[in-house]
Amino acid sequence: MRAAAGIATSQLTHARGRTILTILGITLAVLAATLLAGTGIGVVETGQEKFDAAGRDIWMTGGPVRFSPTGVGGFENTIVGAHELEAELEARDDVRVATPMAFQTVYVKSNDSEYETLVGVGAPARGESVQITNGSGFSSEDVHYGDGNYTGPMTHEVVIDQRTADLMNVSVGDSLYIGGTTGIARNNEFTVVGISPTFSQFLGTPSVVVHLSELQEITGTTGTDKASLVTLTVEDGADPETVATDLEAAYPAYDVRTNQEQLTELLREQAVIMAAGGSLVFLALFAGLALTVNILLSHVYHQQREFAALKALGTSSWTLSLTLVFQALFVGTIGGALGVVLSVPAARGLNYLAEFIVGFDGIVTLPPSVLVGGFAIAFAMSVVSSVAVSRQIAGIRPLDHLG
């Protein structure tokens, strides 16, 4: 054992460049595995947290929200007659609150900025499910819709997120001009009444939130009363799955899902991206394994005379094979440890980048099981590579190299 360890150490220190390259290869393989696994876990956990924080039990949609480049607003919302549907749903004994929401692209301008296109949200920015970090939020209900029409007064109140506030250089009490076109925006001055991260975190983009009927008014969709989705909160004691099943039967034209079902559907829509991530993990592991095998084969190839001399002096093939095992375990342990140690700051950097770009925090989550799994991958790669190369040692014939 001591002889094998000594020979292994001598060979690794003699070829420092190849040794360092192999360690780095294993480190990158472990990093790829831990970060991509952590991203998958983080996406699911973040999605679940966002759905739970929304305070809704059921999501009703008319199919996927599609882009409509030829129309004002840019989105083709699929629920028609949103306010009437809201009244029907709230009349049910098992539904406590039904909230239609719409998304549209709108032009936004402040007194200190030029027009920017942002996502406009038609939703009630008030209540327990909406976090207001500055200001008070909407001062009243959606009064513009009135009693089944759009003749009520517009409040011209808007709630924005911090990124929109920085982009427009505004704060609570300042004015924003918002509309589906720049002409409409010039005639619709809104007052910022609150700063909230709720909707921008859910959407992953800067946004402005106004009452649903007012968003419909400034984007020209009052005729069809369109919305993107309707969220529902069931009565205390009601089972969301049972209510969802009943609603599916009552409204066959709509997709009705619970929180968990909606999250599952969103993840299913990203199956191609997730498959690509899995492919990257496989390629990283394969590259690390190939690099480890290559360095060990290289040691055998470049030191065949030395190995042949050791065999001629009576050193057994088992001892020489054990030498390769020590080499593989050494580079695997160092590479695995480096990969695990570097995973933590790398995950923090990716989380910071994700929060800066899309507003989501905690996208990469590294539970202890992921870190242990990453180190186990490096150990397994070392064992597999040493076994693969041991046959080369057994096949060395001293007379062929010492003539």
pLDDT in tens, 131-170: 788 888 888 888 898 767 888 899 999 999 988 999 999 9
- Do 79 and 208 lie in one domain? The reply is yes
What pLDDT, on a 0 to 100 scale, did the predictor assign at position 325?
79
Q: What is the pLDDT of residue 70?
A: 45
State which residues form the domain around 292.
2-50+271-401
Average pLDDT of the chain is 79
* Residue 307 pLDDT level (bands cut at 50, 70, 90): confident
b/e per residue, 292-314, with b = 16+ CB within 10 A?
Answer: bbbbbeebbeebbebbbebbeee
* Cα 390 to Cα 369: distance, rounded to the nearest angstrom: 31
Asked if 38 and 151 sit in the same domain, the reply is no
Whether residue 365 is found in the same domain as residue 244 = no
Written as one string, the DSSP assignment of 20-57 is: HHHHHHHHHHHHHHHHHHHHHHHHHHHHHHHHHHTT-S
Whole-prediction pTM value?
0.61
Pairwise CA distance, residues 30 & 282, whole Å: 11
Query: Is the predicted pLDDT of residue 67 greater than 60, yes or no?
Result: no
Average pLDDT over residues 238-243: 87
Nearest to 50 by CA among 257, 220, 195, 198: 198
Non-local CB neighbours of 296 within 8 Å, separated by 6+ positions:
324, 327, 328, 385, 386, 388, 389
Query: Dihedral sign, CA of 218, 222, 227, 232?
Result: positive
Residues 303 and 372 both lie in one domain: yes
Instruction: Grade residue 353 by pLDDT with cuts at 50, 70 and 90.
Output: confident
Whether residues 218 and 278 fall in one domain: no
pLDDT, position 193: 93
- Residue 29 binned pLDDT confidence (cut-offs 50, 70, 90): confident
Residue of higher predicted confidence among 207 and 329: 207
Residue 212: the pLDDT is 92
CA 274, 277, 278, 283: dihedral to nearest 10 degrees? 160
Contact indicator for 296, 389 with CB cutoff of 8 Å: yes
Res 6: pLDDT: 75
Residue-level pLDDT at 80: 87
pLDDT of 335 higher than 80:
yes
Asked if residue 9 and residue 135 are part of one domain, the reply reads: no
Task: Report if residue 344 sits inside a domain.
Answer: yes
Of 197, 223, 253, which marks where a domain is finished? 253
Q: Give, for 16, the enclosing helix (H) or strand (E).
A: helix 16-53
**Is residue 107's pLDDT more than 90?**
yes
- Higher-pLDDT residue of 127 and 195 is 195
- pLDDT score for 271: 55
DSSP, residue by residue, 68-111: -TTSTTSEE--B-SHHHHHHHHHTSTTEEEEEEEEEEEEEEE-T
Q: Rounded to an integer, what distance in angstroms lies between the CA atom of residue 217 and that of residue 185?
A: 11
Domain closes at, from 253, 281, 299: 253
Provide the pLDDT for residue 69: 45
Q: What is the CA radius of gyration of the chain?
A: 31
Which range of 99-103, 281-285, 318-322, 381-385 scores highest in mean pLDDT? It is: 99-103
What's phi and psi for 121, nearest 5 deg? Answer: -115, 130
pLDDT for 217 equals 92
> Residue 261: inside a domain, yes or no?
no
Count of domains for the chain = 2
State pLDDT tens for residues 374-399: 888 888 877 777 777 777 776 777 76
Is there a single domain that holds both residue 204 and residue 118? yes
The answer, yes or no, to whether residue 65 has pLDDT greater than 90, is no
Tell which of 193, 225, 253 closes a domain: 253
The CB density around residue 229, as the number of other CB atoms within 10 Å, is: 22
Assess whether 160 and 102 both reside in one domain: yes
Q: Calculate what percentage of the chain has a pLDDT beyond 90.
A: 16
Residues 308 and 247 in one domain: no
